Amino acid sequence: MASAALIALDWGTTSLRAWLLDEAGQVLDRQQSREGILSVPAGGFIAVFEAILSPWRTNSDPLPAIACGMVGSRQGWREAPYAPCPCAAVDLQHKLARVAAGASDLVIVPGVAFDPGGQPPDVMRGEETQVFGALAGSESSATFVLPGTHSKWVTAEQGRITRFATYMTGEVFDVLRRHSILGRTMSDGVVRPDNASFIDGVEAGLNGGSGLLHRLFEVRSLALFDRLSALDGQSYLSGLLIGSEIAGARETATGDHPPVTLIGAPDLVAAYRTALHIAGIAAEVADLEVTPQGLWRIAVAAGMIGR
């Protein structure tokens, strides 16, 4: 553990991931817990924090610790105010929140807000760290897609997040599947991006224009007329929603949509990559370690560790 320099955490709504990093940001060890912020009882954050750090405790001085994600929300341990766009990794240091956490104090990364005026604001918390990790300190420009419960389309220019948009694709899919009449026509299963029904759904979503609310009912009518099996219903619904998301993002782009970089869980990334290919948008996949890389980069910018 002599080379350990930083403890990095991604503390989200339903899970907690932690990494032990060296002075170059390389991962020495990792841990994972299901104790996301919604699972932590009142006053219990210190206990969870200490438990996940306990394997890395030594007799030397405690390591600095930094966390991103919903731990910095109003429902988390300590609220870290949003940093405004445009935002570079170095700008986040001005909004960091700090909490006393036993032997090791914890620094919490702020989220980022996009508030262009004349339009409702948009926010992210945790995804900014992944984007800065994917940029790897470069001053390049890129478009990132981060699929999930609340999917994000992020534009970075010269190493700064300049704008982004959120799509509630994952949450809407889950609500419709579990709590709507559409779910009654479906059996439990895994969404497969190579499934013909997923591809049909993507194409329907891409070509549906503003008619998503109508196209959603087709999930039921197709099943009633035995044109969509119970096993394929989830794949079709997933494809429909993802296709609609891509269509909406494409409408806001000027000219041809540039290639995108996908950041996320492998199953979701595979589904989005297929859908983007159908839409004619090139996509590459970011490294799986972008979160610890982003946390290390933010910690260095904030002077938490030397380099």
Check which CATH number belongs to the domain holding 218 and give it: 3.30.420.310
Burial of 88 (0-12, 13-18, 19+ CB in 10 A): middle
Total number of domains in the chain: 2
Residues 90 and 11 in one domain: yes
CA atoms within 13 A on the CB side of 279: 33
User: Is the domain of 186 the same as that of 271?
Assistant: yes
295 belongs to a structural domain: no
Q: Does residue 192 sit in the same domain as residue 255?
A: yes
pLDDT tens profile 11-63: 999 999 999 999 999 999 999 999 999 999 999 999 999 999 989 987 667 88
Q: Above 80 in pLDDT, residue 201? A: yes
Q: What is the mean pLDDT of residues 203-223?
A: 93
Asked if the structure places residue 305 within a domain, the reply is no
In a domain, 191, yes or no: yes
pLDDT in tens, 37-48: 999 999 999 999
Q: Is residue 50 part of a domain?
A: yes
Task: Report yes or no on 47 lying in a domain.
Answer: yes
Question: Rounded to whole angstroms, what are the CA distances from 271 to 170, 249, 304?
Answer: 12, 16, 38
pLDDT at 272 over 90: yes
- Looking at residue 134, its amino acid is A
Q: In terms of domains, do 195 and 257 share one?
A: yes
Amino acid present at 133: G
Q: Are residues 22 and 123 in the same domain?
A: yes
pLDDT in tens, 89-138: 999 999 999 998 877 789 999 999 999 988 999 999 999 999 999 998 77
7: helix, coil or strand? strand
| Full residue range of the structural domain in which residue 20 is found | 4-135
pLDDT at 307: 55
Would you state the pLDDT for residue 291? Answer: 97
In a domain, 265, yes or no: yes
Do 21 and 130 fall into the same domain? yes
> Do 121 and 212 belong to one domain?
no
Least confident of 100-109, 196-205, 238-247, 287-296: 100-109
Residue 144 included in any domain: no
Answer yes or no: do 212 and 122 share one domain: no
pTM summary value: 0.93
Q: What is the mean pLDDT of residues 169-190?
A: 93
Q: Which amino acid is at 169?
A: T
pLDDT band at 254 (very low <50, low <70, confident <90, very high): low
Q: What pLDDT is recorded for position 306?
A: 66
**Do 234 and 113 sit in the same domain of this protein?**
no
